[in-house]
Every structure is written in C-alpha cells, then in structure tokens.
Structure 1
Amino acid sequence: MQADFYYDPVRDAAGCQLSVTVLADRDHIRAEMREDALAAGFSIRECCSLEEYAQGPLAALGDLVLVDCAEASADAMALLSRLDMRGGKAGAQLVVSTTMPALDSVFGCFSMSAPQILVDPGRAERIIAIGQVLARVPNLRLREMGEEDRLMLLRLTEQVGRIAERLEKLSPGQREGGGAFRFESPSPAWHGDDRAHASGQSEKARPLLPDGPVLRRLIKARQMRLRYFDGSLFADPAWDILLDLAAARAERQQVSVTSLCIAAGVPATTALRWIGQMVEAGLLVRLSDPHDRRRAYIALADSTADAMARYCAEVGAAELAVV
C-alpha cells in the first residue's frame, strides 16, 4: 500500500493559509501540479495556462508559483520576465520546469527571484521542489503517521544513510564533517587569491591558466573513464563545471547554461542546482548578454580563475595533458 503523506494547511505567521499560482500550457502537467500543491497544504489562488494568465487582469501572485514552460516563445519569455520581477519584489518562491531546448531562454528570464529550475522533470522531481519550499515554512506539521508509515520512513532513512556512507568512502578528500551530499560555500578564510600562498608576489608573478587545448585534453581524459567504468563512480559536477569554464576562459569563449549543464555530466536539473550554489558562493558569475537581455552566460569569477591557474601550475597540468 502506498504511503499517503498529507500536510496540514501551510499558514503564515498571521495564521493565513499560503496560496499557490499554477501556470502551465500542458493540461496534464497543470493538473498534476495543482493536485500536488493541494496535497502539500497550499490553497489555489490561480490555475491556468500561461497565455490565459498573461491576458487576464493583473492578480496578486501566490506565495508559491509553479510554472511549466516547455517552449521559449516570445510571449512566454515576456511573462517569465514579469513573474521574475514580481516574484522577486513580493518574495514569492518560484518553481519553473522547462525543456532542454528552452533552457537558455528560460534561465535568462530570471535574475531577481532565484527560482528552482527543473529540466524535463518527472512528477517526483516537482514534488521534491515543493518539499524544498515547504522546508522553509516555519511551524510546519506533518499529519499523524501510522506505524506502517513510520517503518517505511525508517527504512528509507537507513537506505539513504548507507548510500551516503558508500559515497563518503569514494570521496576521501572531503573535509571532516562534510557529507557526501553537502556543498559548502568557501570558508571566511578562503580569499580566492594568493594572499595565503605568497602575499608578497606581484601581479606579474601569478600563474596563468593553461591554454585551452591543454584543458580540453584534461577534460577528454576525464571523459574517457566512462569507456571502462561506471560513470556514477566519477560524478563530480563542480569540478567538471570549473574545468569547462576554465577552458572557455582560456579560449575567450562564452558558455551558455545549456552547454554547462552538458559539461557537468549529471542531469540538467542537478547541474543547475550546482551552478546556482556556486554562483551564490562567489565561485561563478552570471553575465548578461549585452545584445539580448533575456540571455545569460556563466563564467569563472576572477578569484576562481586565479585559484584554477595556481592549481594547474602546481600539479603540472600541461604535463598531465600530454598523451
């Protein structure tokens, strides 16, 4: 029998039930998102297609905005840009699902509201995204669980614990106390420059990033492991992202979000989470296209480029890349 977890109504500090705006052109997706939001404890403020919402009277957004945008039409992108502005000002939380072909355009529409962006997600991924929103709501109560529910939850917790332990053994370099699923921002002592290494060095003494072909050979060597081993053993999206952006910087190329998700070697939604966390940590920067404000690129922060250059110099990247 499937466990049936339902939340009590989600309420704010004043005791008012929080609401959701559901926008999707695909009828079955809209129906699923509406049902899942209701099950999570939200009331429905509005549920319609993107076109209907854009043409209707200006209405207040829900506390949560669920959007499914499969195609990057001009009208849809204009609506997403407005939702980004309104959501950022109102403090609404946005969960936006899209497709890989539309990802660059959709990503470029959001600069103020920090949405969760899901790429070709299944229903479970959407539910998890709603759960992440619920996790930020104070005083949230799960309904009373029966004994069968408790046993199921206990077994699931044990399974996740075992997986985490195995991943820890595959990642001996992680800092003490850092879990396999944990991503930490740089500590306050991390400066991203050479103050901790050679504070007296001049700017000219700093190493430079290797040439693009050198970094591309390193990336190719990493990818060749997939011919001989299970790729899940080597999932390291943060490092693959840094390498790809370092090569692009050396080649003076711009990197789109779609291209970077592919380079990360993990599902696009997972790659987007890593990119977002690395931008928040100051490792990466988001750059707007001066010719198209709806398009954005990702690049290394200058301090990150300096750190990558020092790393490559210390390990002898040019020598390692020689086949």
Structure 2
Amino acid sequence: MQADFSYEPVRDGAGCQLAVTILADRDAVRAQMREDAELAGYRILECCSLEEFASGSSGSLGDLVLVDCVEADGAAMAILSRLDMRAGKSGAQLVVSTSMAALDTVFGCFALSGAQILVDAGHAERVIAIGRALAEVPNLRLREMAEEDRLMVLRLTEQVARMAERVEQLSPGQREGGGAFRLEAASQAWRGQGDEYVVVDETRARPRLPDAAYIRQMIAQRQARAKFFDGELFADPAWDILLDLAAARAERQQVCVTSLCIAAGVPATTALRWIAQMVSADLLVRIPDPHDRRRAHIALADSTADAMARYFAAIGAPNAEPVAAL
C-alpha cells in the first residue's frame, strides 16, 4: 500500500486550522506563495495585492502573513508599517520578501513584529521561512512527516542552534550557567553626549577603539582570503558584523542594514538572521533614523563596544591602550 504523504491542515493546540494572509503585487509570486501555504496546511484568509488589501476592509490578519514587496514607495511603506503594528499586537507571524534595493526602507518598517525578512528570495527560502513560522506555533498539530522532511527540519534546527550558541558565546555579561540570550545588565553606567558614547567607570581605566583605518585594514585582510580560497571556508558573519560596526563607531558613522549585510559576507537573508539574533542578545541595537522615523540603523551596544575595545587592547592594536576613566 502506497504511503500518503499529503499535507493535512495545520492546527493550533485548540484544534483550529491556522490561517494565512498573502499580500504580493507580483502575480506569479503571489500564486506561488498561495500554493506553498496551502501545501503547508494553512487556510487562505486573504490573497491579494498590497493596494487591494489597503483599500479593503480592515479584517483580522491570519496567523501567518506572507508579504512580497520589492519596491517600497510611500504607499507601500505605510501599509508595511501598519502590518508591523497589527502583527505586533495580534501575535501574527510575518514573512516579508524584498529586494536588496528596497531593504533599508522595508527593514525600517518592521520594529514591533519580529518579521522574517528575506532578500531576493527564491522558492526554497520562502518554504523554509514558512517552516520556521510553523516551528514557533505552540502545541502545533502536524501530520506525520516523511523521512526526507524530518531530515530537513533536523538540519535547519541544528543550524539555528549553532547560530544561537555562537551568538551566546559573544554576548557580554552572560550569567554563568544561563541559557541562550540570558544576559546580565551592564555593570557600567553610560551617558550620551550627542552621537558619542562615553563610559563611566570609577574603578579602572578603560580601553578605546583603535583608529578606524586599523579596523578597516583588518577587514580588508579578512576579505583578501576569498581571492585564494573558497570564501565559505572562512565565513564568520557575526565577527564581520562586529568589525564593520566597530570601524563605523570609530569613524562616528551610521550603518544602514544593507551595508551591514554586505559586510557580513554571506547572503543578505542569512545576514539579517544574524543581525536579528545579535539584536536579541543585546550585542547590537537598532537606532531609528532621527530624520526619517521609518528608517533604522544598526550599531554596537555600549557593552559590546567596550568588549571590542578590550579585545583590540589585548591584541596590541595601536591607540587601543587603556585611558583614564572619566
């Protein structure tokens, strides 16, 4: 008797079938997203363009909202910001695919909902994103998986676990024996002076970041390896992100998320996952653009900047020697 591996409806712990809202201006992408959601067992609540959704009645969102927006004009930004607010309040999960050109604008629209943002995503990335959304549903009722499905979920779980472990090891102030992302508050007091960050520590001298040129040289040396070896052999997006932000801080420059994704040296969607993990771990902070509240920049958290400065002092970087506490 042939095994039946067809997808059954996915249901929450109460037995209710999960619903999905699909918003995409590109017809082909919208059709593909609908097919993927139906195959995953979702009930289609709404499937239309962004403009049609905005002009219709403001009904409830699905448990999952799939959005495709590759050109973020003013109208699209307004819709995305409203979706972020509504999803943040309702608990709906958001998966948003966009283009590299529109990434900064789209990223700035999502501050409340913890949206998954995919950049220039292919079909496989969208399917994986739906799977990650399902993994977040408590007491989810699923069909029995085929062996190949089980192996794929296992590999994805292992990858996310490794990422979390690596970020946890980088996290300053982590409690001894604590779990992932359980951090102590910084022991130092911080005060801001304009765009500067000044640490106050009455007990000891503190190091400072070296000149930006030194950090940029280190970054260039790391990138030069790709000329002679496969770049994936040395992929370390968390460290590349920290170095780029340290250089920007030394230069007193702001860093947009698109620039940071490029600096990470991995596909943009992967870089965004690292950035999200590091923000959750309080290694990085998201800073709204003071001139455009719909945009945001990424920066080192104060405690992370202090840890980077001490690292550079430990390896003998020039101009990174301890200085007197203020």
> Which category of TM-score, normalised to the shorter sequence, fits these structures?
0.7 to 0.9
| Residue identity in the other structure for 2:318 | A
Counterparts of 1:121 and 1:4, CA distance in 2: 30
1:284 corresponds in structure 2 to 284
The CA deviation at 1:193 is: 6.1
RMSD across aligned C-alpha pairs, in angstroms?
A: 2.8
1:164-313 superposed matches below 5 A:
179=162, 182-185=165-168, 186=171, 187-189=174-176, 202=202, 205-313=205-313
Counterparts of 1:294 and 1:104, CA distance in 2: 10
**May I ask how many residue pairs the two structures share in their alignment?**
295
CA change 1:40–1:221 in 2 (3 A) is same
Question: Contact between 1:192 and 1:303, CA under 8 Å: does it hold in 2?
Answer: no
2:90 corresponds in structure 1 to 90
Question: Contact between 2:20 and 2:65, CA under 8 Å: does it hold in 1?
Answer: yes
The CA deviation at 1:252 is: 0.2
| Residue identity in the other structure for 1:26 | R
Question: Contact between 1:9 and 1:41, CA under 8 Å: does it hold in 2?
Answer: yes
Secondary structure in 1 aligned to 2:295? strand
TM-superposition CA deviations, 1:294-318 (whole Å, max 9, x none): 1100000000000000000001133
2:195 corresponds in structure 1 to none
CA change 1:135–1:31 in 2 (3 A) is same
CA change 1:263–1:128 in 2 (3 A) is same
Secondary structure in 2 aligned to 1:317? coil
Question: Contact between 1:104 and 1:295, CA under 8 Å: does it hold in 2?
Answer: yes
1:14-93 superposed matches below 5 A:
14-93=14-93
2:197 corresponds in structure 1 to none
Question: Contact between 2:210 and 2:319, CA under 8 Å: does it hold in 1?
Answer: no
The CA deviation at 1:7 is: 3.6
The CA deviation at 1:204 is: 6.8
1:175 corresponds in structure 2 to none
Counterparts of 2:92 and 2:49, CA distance in 1: 19
CA change 1:287–1:313 in 2 (3 A) is same
Secondary structure in 2 aligned to 1:96? strand
2:132 corresponds in structure 1 to 132
| Residue identity in the other structure for 1:188 | R
TM-superposition CA deviations, 1:54-89 (whole Å, max 9, x none): 111111111100000010111101000000001101
| Residue identity in the other structure for 1:134 | L
2:192 corresponds in structure 1 to none
1:170 corresponds in structure 2 to none
Counterparts of 1:94 and 1:179, CA distance in 2: 23
Counterparts of 2:302 and 2:105, CA distance in 1: 26
Counterparts of 2:141 and 2:89, CA distance in 1: 28
Counterparts of 1:182 and 1:7, CA distance in 2: 33
Counterparts of 2:187 and 2:175, CA distance in 1: 15
Secondary structure in 2 aligned to 1:298? strand
TM-score by length of 1: 0.84
Secondary structure in 2 aligned to 1:269? helix
CA change 1:208–1:5 in 2 (3 A) is farther
The CA deviation at 1:8 is: 2.5
